[in-house]
Structure 1
């Protein structure tokens, strides 16, 4: 499989999240060790403070597990307080680049804790969001990184109309996150076919449409839905992952496929759940690649 596509993982698949009260978090040696044991080649960074922010320390830690750094997720408020967003982007981009990463995965945070609510933006605020994203792209480019916009539940680019509006108003590439797109009402397979040249990074998820529909309708909070099993191993949900992979491969995509299944571990959740689910996803992805 590694000869055909590049596969990475992310700490969120082990329940490691920046949202206060999200759930129990496993320690970094456990998470990175299990990634390595499963044959994953690289990882995204995870939330600020989980892995070292000192480049030498981070390189040494990843090297211990023979993992590369893909880059990382940066959820910042883009529609106001530009200087703060740009400062955070500068710090993250410098760290990613110093440790061999090549992509900054940007999300348009609301400024609220978590992803369960989001206020509406004015036209002026939307224009500021697009402008700030472009400035972050330039900062990252100065460090040799690409910046991709990540449509994400509970951010200001979530629903299909917002995704298409951003693609029209900005020249940033897209993080094609199969789960968040579907929850937001966008068919990731169709989006990949319509905008193949904009797909510059891929997060692979599978989701249960019954729970996704409740989140979309506002009758179920995102955090609660994750706790109830919104995300499932690849091939066990309602996203047509195989068609999406075939589509982007046919369009010439040669970037990372990041297994990034949002997971929340409760007090009674067995520690082996993340490893088991990631192993099942890897097995399904291997089947998909063999069929290409």
Structure 2
């Protein structure tokens, strides 16, 4: 397997859902943990968190890290909203260009995703029941995704699409339909697939040739099932301790990675342990816990990357 391993701000409680005004880990402290524990890249996180333009490039260079990818969520089922979102897509792509001016050996993948709906976000894994997607609206999603992918390719990057719990592409069946109707590679997220009732091992067997990016999580299945059974949404999933260090959950990491190796996977492996912290979290203690978890996660991948 030719793969590089990256970390992600979301594992440090820094992402688009972080409450406004919450204390968060500083960018340099986050990157120091990744370097110390053996990672070679980092996901972008919220736009501007790691810096902008030349400032982002300098920060990555200072730590010897490459940009692995970055989250771009688009309202793919709403033509008017999608049109308005293209300015943000362009801004993110300018950030990618600035971060890669030095010509890294492996380029980052702009990670496109559907925005979903409030009903779907409140019912992760149950989206088809909570907010069914009519065929004509599904086609709109595929058409808008194709347009976004074209914009990404026109500036020199290859897009990837992230199936995501709480959106209109979350279940194995919805992923099947997406892959049938588009030419964009798939970001396999082992945690979000588990939320939607999928098996990551079966996913690699089924979609291996289309997987061009990997978000690797382990899942505390009993805890996740408890949250979902209580009617929890994605906020509760993120804040409830659903995602755990490798080996402490139910994902068969060895089988997933062995199958990807057999399929000659060549790309980024982004380690994610999504967490939405209580605003009162003690950052020093939390950062120490993050360091320990990142060391465990990185060592678990040594056999492959």
TM-score, with structure 1 as normaliser: 0.90
Aligned partner of residue 195 in structure 1, secondary structure: helix
1:289 is matched with: 304
1:60-119 alpha-carbon deviations (Å, 9 max, x no partner): 111121111112111121111221233222221232133124311111012549943564
2:113 is matched with: 107
2:253 is matched with: 241
Separation in 2, partners of 1:98, 1:268: 33
Unaligned runs of at least 5 residues, structure 2? 101-106
Query: Displacement of 1:207 after TM fit?
Result: 0.3
Query: Displacement of 1:134 after TM fit?
Result: 0.8
Separation in 2, partners of 1:165, 1:214: 29
TM-score, with structure 2 as normaliser: 0.86
1:127-183 alpha-carbon deviations (Å, 9 max, x no partner): 111111111111111111111111111111111221111111111110011111111
2:296 is matched with: 280
Aligned length, in residue pairs: 286
Separation in 2, partners of 1:265, 1:28: 17
Separation in 1, partners of 2:162, 2:269: 14
1:6 is matched with: 4
Unaligned runs of at least 5 residues, structure 1? none
1:26-74 alpha-carbon deviations (Å, 9 max, x no partner): 1111111211121210111001232223x21110111121111112111
Separation in 2, partners of 1:62, 1:138: 27
Greater RCO, 1 or 2 (C-alpha within 8 Å, sep 6+): 2
- What does 1:67-216 correspond to in 2, within 5 Å? 67-80=65-78, 81-100=81-100, 101-110=107-116, 112=118, 115-117=121-123, 119-216=131-228
- The RMSD of aligned alpha carbons is 2.2
Aligned partner of residue 71 in structure 1, secondary structure: strand
2:31 is matched with: 32
Query: Displacement of 1:24 after TM fit?
Result: 4.2
